[in-house]
DNA sequence: CGTTACATTTACGTTAACGTCACCCTATCT
DNA sequence: AGATAGGGTGACGTTAACGTAAATGTAACG
């Protein structure tokens, strides 16, 4: 039993998420992933896959791995301790407002960029006109 | 005339944008900003301010400075060359679709996080109930 | 049994994005 | 004139997030 249907090997993870093995080992060393260690090799569970999805997503929004690690704590059954749970709850609330702010900003940025694209189109059209004129 | 109403000193920039002088000099060295050099000191124009706004915004979305630099090219009157303009136009289009994808993902992430917060609230409420029970 | 394919650890290398330090200039206040 | 404030240029240091290389283990294939 080198792998069940439930777990992924490191290669399968690499293929599924388009990351290198080094990255997965690195994330494990940073306590972002917790694959089962059977003998020498790693077996990544469904939980690890969910975590990795969140990690990669977080990265796309500019969060550091340490930020993400703290967020992931809340996705754990770690709430044994009330103080701990309260703390991570507050962190998550904070993160939520950050993301909502980011969303507003993203909308703004998209609008800006669209405006710029229209500008670019106008200028490209100008080039097209000059070319036509030159041809006559 | 050490500064007009139109330009900012490096300190004013630092205060206005909450960055260090080192950062501004670094951005200049990377050709992201182009302050006027009057003798020894720098004078940041309105254009520099607009650029810096875009730089900081880009960073918040996880773009690298080099990515941002390329984007900023389009915000320039640099379209002297048609090929160049076309190239930056395509880059911008690409960036736009990236940001739109990011927006969709962000919405998803926000929804996820909200769900988790509700979970957290339930568990905190559970703690509150146990406390009441213990008090009786 | 050799080798091919994958896996692991250890450890040094790399890149981006600044921080920090040392040293220098110069304008201005006292 | 001396001190203080603010700006400038190297140049080396630092941190995050991996890359890369060397040495080793092991499972299966022909």
User: Degrees (nearest 5) of the Cα angle B96, B59, B17?
Assistant: 120
Query: Best residue in A53, A99, A104 to probe B by mutation, most B CBs within 10 Å?
Result: A99
Per-residue HEC secondary structure of A3-47 comes to CCCCCECHHHHHHHHCCCHHHHHHHHHCCCCCCEEECCEEEECHH
From the list A99, A42, A34, the residue with the least C-alpha distance to A69 is A34
The region, left, alpha or beta by phi > 0 then psi within -120 to 50, assigned to residue A92 is alpha
> Which CATH code is given to the segment(s) A1-63?
1.10.1660.10
CB A108 within 8 A of CB B126: no
Q: Assess contact for B49 and B12: CB atoms under 8 A.
A: no
Whether B23 sits with its Cβ under 7 A from any strand C atom: the answer reads: yes
pLDDT, one tens digit per residue, over A21-67 is 999 999 999 999 999 988 778 999 999 999 999 999 888 887 889 88
B9 CB closer than 7 A to any strand D atom: yes
**Residue B1 — very low, low, confident or very high, per pLDDT cuts 50/70/90?**
very low
Q: Do A79 and B123 touch (CB under 8 A)?
A: yes
pLDDT per position as a tens digit, A55-99: 998 888 878 898 889 888 777 655 567 877 787 788 788 888 888
In words, the CATH class of domain B1-65 is mainly alpha
| Section B20-39 average pLDDT | 93
Chain A window 6-25: residues with CB closer than 7 Å to nucleic chain D are 20, 22-23
Round to whole Å and give the CA distance between A77 and A74.
Answer: 8
On chain A, the residues whose CB falls within 8 A of the CB of B64 are none
Distance B3 CA to D4 C1' (A): 21
Determine the straight-line distance between the first and last CA of chain B, rounded to whole angstroms.
Answer: 77
Residue extents of the structural domains in chain A = 1-63, 77-136
Residue B23 pLDDT greater than 90, yes or no: yes
Nearest to A56 by CA among B65, B62, B56: B62
pLDDT band, very low/low/confident/very high, at B107 (cuts 50, 70, 90) = very high
Contact state of A124 with B60 under an 8 Å Cβ cutoff: no
- Cβ proximity of A113 and B95 under 8 Å: yes
Name the protein residue, with chain letter, whose CA is nearest the C1' of D7: B41
């Amino acid at each position: 039993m080198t792998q069940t249907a439930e777990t992924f090997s490191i290669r399968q993870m690499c293929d599924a998420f388009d990351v290198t093995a080094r990255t997965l080992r690195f994330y494990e060393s940073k306590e972002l992933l917790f694959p089962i260690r059977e003998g020498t090799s790693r077996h990544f569970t469904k939980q690890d896959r969910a975590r990795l999805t969140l990690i990669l997503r977080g990265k796309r929004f500019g969060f550091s791995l340490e930020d993400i690690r703290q967020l992931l704590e809340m996705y754990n059954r770690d709430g044994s301790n009330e103080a701990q749970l309260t703390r991570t709850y507050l962190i998550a609330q904070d993160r939520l407002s950050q993301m909502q702010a980011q969303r507003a900003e993203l909308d703004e940025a998209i609008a800006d960029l669209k405006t710029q694209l229209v500008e670019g189109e106008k200028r490209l059209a100008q080039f097209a006109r000059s070319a036509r004129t030159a041809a006559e």
